[in-house]
Amino acid sequence: MELHSADSLEEALDRLQETGGETQVLAGGTDVMIQNMRHEISPSALLYIGRLDDLRGIAHNGTVDIGPLSTHRMLATDHIVRRVLPALAEAAGSVGGWQTQEVGTVGGNLCNASPAADTAPPLLVAGTRVRLSSQSGVRELPLDEFLLDRRRTARRADELLTGIAAEPCAPGTAEAYLKLGRRSAMEVAIAGVAVRLTLDENDTAVEARVAACSVAPRPFRARATEALLQGSPLDPDSVAEAGLMLVREASPIDDGRASAAYRRRVLPDLLARTIEVCRSRLADRREE
C-alpha cells in the first residue's frame, strides 16, 4: 500500500481523478486506521488530506459553514456551534474520548457513513447540505441524499467532501441530541435522536425535525414522525404516537450493543426526552 500526502486541494482531486477507485482518503484516521488493521478495507493507496488547512474551520455566513476537516473537539467547543448548533456540539462531544475527538473529523464521520454516526442526526435536522468537489466540478446535495446506506454515500470515487453547510437554529427554535449507551462515555450509540423544534406562543409545534441513528442502515430524517408532530400541542398522547411512528420508520438490527427489540422499545422514550429537552431550552430562553 502506498501513502500519499496532498499539499493542495487540486493535488488531491488530481489524485482521486486518476486513482480514486483504489484510493482510500485518510483524514484523522480514527475509522480508516482501524478498518485497515482489521482488513475491512484494502485500498492500494491512502491519500492523506490532513494538510489541506482550507478544509478546516467553522464560519458563520448565514449558514454555519463547517470545514470537513474540523475535528469533533472543535465542534464540541466552538462558541458558534455551541450557540446555534447545540445538538451538533453535544453529539461531537459524545464521540469516543478526548483523544479521538482531537483527531476524528466531521467529514470523516459523514463519509464513513456508519449507521451510528453521531454527528449525522444533528446535521440532518439542521437541513445540512454537503459540497462534493472533483476535477469535473462542484455539486451540492442535502445530507439526507448523501448518506445512502450502511458505509455507503453518494460520493463518487473521484470526489472529495469539501463543504458542510448547516442552517443555524433560529430564535424561537431549540434543538437537542440524546444518545443512549450503556455508559455515558466512550460509547457507540445504541440509539441516538436529534430534534429541532419551533414552537408558537401556544406551545404548538410549528416545525419539528427529527433524525435518528443506530436504528437503521443509515442515519435518517424521520419525515412521517415529523408530520405527526407538526401542528401538535406536544401533549403526552401525541408525543407517544410520534414515538410509535418513529419505531415504524426505523429498521433496527440485533448487534453487539443491543437487540433490535430493545432499540424499538427505547426509541419512543428517547424521542419524548429529546423533545422535552428542546421544550425546556425554549422555556429557559423565554425567561431570559
Closest distance to other proteins from the beta carbon of 266 (Å): 22
Rounded Cα distance between 107 and 119, Å, is 10
| Amino acid found at 20 | G
Closest distance to other proteins from the beta carbon of 97 (Å): 2
Helix (H) or strand (E) holding 249: helix 236-249
Nearest alpha carbon to residue 158 among 56, 23, 67, 54: 23
Q: Which is nearer to other proteins, 95 or 222 (CB)?
A: 95
Q: Which is nearer to other proteins, 67 or 243 (CB)?
A: 67
Q: Which is nearer to other proteins, 16 or 87 (CB)?
A: 16
Closest distance to other proteins from the beta carbon of 256 (Å): 13
Q: Is the dihedral of CA 83, 87, 92, 95 positive or negative?
A: positive
Residues paired with residue 152 on neighbouring β-strands, in sequence order:
149
- Terminal Cα-to-Cα distance of the chain (whole angstroms): 57
Bridging pattern class, strands 45-48 and 23-26: parallel
Q: Which is nearer to other proteins, 13 or 123 (CB)?
A: 13
| Amino acid found at 129 | R
Closest distance to other proteins from the beta carbon of 27 (Å): 9
254-283 residues labelled b (16+ CB within 10 A) or e (exposed): eeebbeeeebbebbbbbbbbbbebbbebbe
Phi-psi region of 24 (alpha: psi -120 to 50; beta: other; left: phi over 0): beta
Closest distance to other proteins from the beta carbon of 7 (Å): 7
Closest distance to other proteins from the beta carbon of 30 (Å): 6
Q: Which is nearer to other proteins, 7 or 287 (CB)?
A: 7
Q: Which is nearer to other proteins, 15 or 279 (CB)?
A: 15
Rounded Cα distance between 127 and 167, Å, is 6
Q: Which is nearer to other proteins, 27 or 216 (CB)?
A: 27
Closest distance to other proteins from the beta carbon of 219 (Å): 21
The C-alpha cell of 64 is what?
454555519
Per-residue DSSP letter, 89: H
Q: Which is nearer to other proteins, 2 or 140 (CB)?
A: 2
Nearest alpha carbon to residue 48 among 67, 31, 27, 69: 27
Binding footprint of other proteins on the chain (CB under 8 A): 1-7, 11, 14-15, 26, 28-30, 33-34, 36-37, 45-46, 48, 50, 73, 96-100, 102-103, 185-186
Closest distance to other proteins from the beta carbon of 76 (Å): 11
C-alpha to C-alpha distances, 77 to 58, 88, 199, 249, nearest whole angstrom:
11, 11, 27, 33
